[in-house]
Structure 1
Amino acid sequence: MAQKDSNWERELLTNLATDYMRDQRRQRRWKIAYRLLILVFILISLFTFSPRRSMDDALRSKPHTALIDIEGPIFSKSPANADDIAASLKEAYKDKGTTGILLRINSPGGSPVQANFIYNELRRQKKAHPSIPIYAVCTDMCASAAYYIAAGSDKIFADPSSLVGSIGVIYNGFGFVDTLHKLGIERRMLTAGVNKGFLDPFSPMDDQQKMKLLSMLDSVHQEFINKVKAGRGKRLHDNPDLFSGLFWTGQQAKSMGLVDDLMSPGQVARDIIGAEKTIDYTSGGSFFEKMAKRFGAEVGVSLGTLLGLGSPLT
């Protein structure tokens, strides 16, 4: 009986050891496969960069529309920011084949500072390259800071259903004074400087501070208005709500002079700029995001290049 128990234990240990070794080999194979996959990815990147660069150079030397996307909120740390857009503009103007620049905008707005930086850069580049027009095309939304940017272009286009405008400035905040009282919490804030606790949410709103904030908002709003007037000029129509913060459809915006015409990005590239071939100059994104974008479009771009075609817009 003892011999049988010993054999059973030995067989169990042998099976466990065998299973363990099998699992180890399986994990090792997966590790090797994973590392090989990374190596292949790196090698493909290295080997495709040079041919792609030469193909891109060949395509960029031919007449084309330079596309720059302004997508999402506009802030210094967002994908749509002044530094990246300025870099995109610089890259687009550097290529001899750039016939025109198309800003494809889909944004609810953002920082007036970032918008002003971009607006000023557009005006500077237009002055330096008067023969290369800059057109803004509003897709789903071109509001607030996004329209601020669009106003710096030569012409603005939109879809009839685009949301355009919102020429205003907003501040959002909350007050929790009554909440603290109900919870039995005493606010203890000490400051050196009478306005150091400006807009503290746990203190009652001070009338003088409120007036100061409204004055600041009015100043930023007036700067926004001035830039829109400078960019649009006599194309703007008199309307009491024009600078009230309201927004309109593309069709309505056209009747107010906020938009020049109703066209898609593809129509503008083809019919206005006269270069249906497009090259995307949008900067930004991490290395892996850029690589994913490259591999995702690799086949289409390569075939288009070989056939002498750019990437057509819709």
Structure 2
Amino acid sequence: MLNKLRSYIPGKWGEVKPVVPVVRLNGVIGAGSPLKPGLSLSSVEDALETAFSFKEAPAIALSVNSPGGSPVQSNLIFKRIRQLADENNKQVLVFVEDVAASGGYMIALAGDDIIVDQASVVGSIGVVSAGFGFTELLQKAGVERRVYTSGDKKVTLDPFSPEIKEDVEHLKTLQHEIHEMFIDMVKRRRGDVLGDEKELFSGLFWTGAKARDLGLVDSIGDLHSTIRERFGKETKIKVIGAKKRFLGRFIPGASLQGNLTEAAGSLPAATLATLEEKSLWAKFGL
């Protein structure tokens, strides 16, 4: 109704310029730490719902920059994007920045078109579990490990205990199941354009240009140029951010204070989470 009324208004007041909302999906996928929350469905759902509420938008754009992380959160974000796209009959354009690898690529699969930079890093379609073993360190330090459980496998793959072959095999079985789910998702979303590359699902990753040749992405480009080429030079791009908490709107630093208080008792865990995040980015030269 509003657009019809504007059509009768002369000059610039009657113009309705198209708007494409953009949601940025950046960072390591998962819970993160109190000082630096990770990328999860709960952290992006409000922004996604707001973006898809733009009824007149010709498309929804997602800017993805993630080295991966939790397969569960990756899948949840993917499914929510597709649900909203189907409910609102919207085209989804995904723009990859530095990296869309592992879970980051899983999220990118939610796009009807995936656009990358030539130098973007794409792929790593696999599953990894990493940790440390501290058994010899404990012995040298004279520290005795004491764990009391109900359930023979409650401390499976405990980093302070020697590895047990059966436990490792069990973990590999879980990884294989998740990997097969990931492969099925790629084939379902990209099966008609995927190349015959034997190592496509090996966990390797490629530049954006090579990923295009393999059928993992659709084209080379950037967000601003692509949006204006497709929908006109007058198209506006509106970045949709996460909503602030209620207290944070009125009391500057309120949410920060809560995070700092929560983090005070878990600084070692936060430090490890930061190191893990840096190692994930470093794998791709970042």
Alpha carbons of 1:190 and 1:76: their partners in 2 closer, same or farther (altered >3 Å)? closer
Cα distance in 2, alignment partners of residues 285 and 238 from structure 1: 46
- CA positional deviation for 1:273: 4.4
Give 1:75-224 correspondences, 5 Å limit. 75-76=30-31, 78=37, 80-130=39-89, 132-224=90-182
2:82 and 2:110 in contact (8 A); partners too: yes
Per-residue CA distance 1:204-244 (angstroms, 9 max, x = gap): 11111111111111111111111122221211112121111
Q: Which residue of 2 aligns with 1:276?
A: 235
Letter in 1 for 2:242: S
1:166 and 1:243 in contact (8 A); partners too: yes
Deviates more, 1:201-210 or 1:190-199: 190-199
Is 1:69 aligned with 2:24? yes
- CA positional deviation for 1:187: 3.2
Cα distance in 2, alignment partners of residues 258 and 129 from structure 1: 26
Give TM-score, length-normalised by structure 1: 0.68
Tell me which structure has the larger Cα radius of gyration. 1
- CA positional deviation for 1:185: 3.6
1:79 and 1:284 in contact (8 A); partners too: no
Deviates more, 1:257-266 or 1:69-78: 69-78
- CA positional deviation for 1:259: 1.0
Per-residue CA distance 1:84-133 (angstroms, 9 max, x = gap): 43322221222233111110111111211111111111221222233x21
Cα distance in 1, alignment partners of residues 160 and 48 from structure 2: 45
Structure 1, unaligned stretches of length 5 or more?
A: 1-57, 293-314
Cα distance in 2, alignment partners of residues 76 and 174 from structure 1: 20
Cα distance in 1, alignment partners of residues 193 and 61 from structure 2: 20
Cα distance in 2, alignment partners of residues 225 and 179 from structure 1: 39
Cα distance in 2, alignment partners of residues 156 and 193 from structure 1: 46
Cα distance in 1, alignment partners of residues 74 and 82 from structure 2: 12
Cα distance in 2, alignment partners of residues 121 and 185 from structure 1: 47
Identity %: 36
Cα distance in 2, alignment partners of residues 173 and 79 from structure 1: 19
Cα distance in 2, alignment partners of residues 213 and 244 from structure 1: 18
- CA positional deviation for 1:184: 3.8
Aligned length: 231
Q: More helix by proportion, 1 or 2?
A: 1
2:41 and 2:73 in contact (8 A); partners too: yes
Letter in 2 for 1:204: P
Cα distance in 2, alignment partners of residues 111 and 201 from structure 1: 20
Letter in 1 for 2:71: P
Give 1:248-263 correspondences, 5 Å limit. 248-263=206-221
Per-residue CA distance 1:179-215 (angstroms, 9 max, x = gap): 2333344433333211012111121111111111111
Is 1:230 aligned with 2:185? no
Alpha carbons of 1:267 and 1:195: their partners in 2 closer, same or farther (altered >3 Å)? same
